[in-house]
Amino acid sequence: MTFKNKILELSSYRILLKDLKKLGHKIVFTNGCFDILHLGHITYLEEAKAKGDILVVGLNSDDSVKRLKGPERPIKDEKSRASILAALSSVDVVIIFEDDTPISLIKAVQPDILVKGGDYKKEQIVGADFVERTGGQVVIIPFLEGHSSTDLINKLNG
């Protein structure tokens, strides 16, 4: 399924969700800052998409990234990061969220599968208990070593 505009407000997604569920689509959710998109992100998102039919990416807002990563971040603004993610064939929907954690967004998205990278343990994954309690599953995708935004930024700063 291809969407004309992949960057959605949560209210628009909620309308779409009813149709997706009626059609029996398996919804996969992941989230992150995706500040400087790199091979690790691309691989991760492709593997996440392969777990279901619709990949919804929760994207931390600029303010959220600053709170989580520090005042020098993000490098790219939220509209740029959202547009770059939306350009990927593996990503179906991007929703920007303001909170420090995606729990409210996860509850609204109602994913069948919650995906996080191998740098997380299941008990650390926000929303894992909710997804499992509602009949979904949590999948951890192995981390692609040597690829991280922080490493890239440190390398650039010399």
Is residue 28 within 8 Å of 111, Cβ to Cβ?
Answer: yes
CA atoms within 13 A on the CB side of 135: 3
115 occurs within a structural domain: yes
* Spatial distance between the Cα atoms of 144 and 158, rounded to a whole number of angstroms: 23
Q: Is residue 57 part of a domain?
A: yes
Q: What CATH number is associated with residue 34?
A: 3.40.50.620
Could you tell me if residue 11 is inside a domain?
Answer: no
- The reply to whether 8 falls in a domain is no
**How far apart are alpha carbons 149 and 60 in whole angstroms?**
14
Domain that holds residue 117: 25-88+104-157
- pTM here? 0.90
Question: Residue 153: inside a domain, yes or no?
Answer: yes
Q: 33 in a domain, yes or no?
A: yes
**Residue for token pair 């991760």:** 44
Task: Please tell me the total number of residues recorded for the chain in this structure.
Answer: 158
Give the tens place of pLDDT for each residue, 43-63. 999 999 999 999 999 999 999
pLDDT value at residue 137: 97
Whether residue 74 contacts residue 33, with contact meaning beta carbons closer than 8 Å, is answered with yes
Number of compact structural domains in the chain: 1
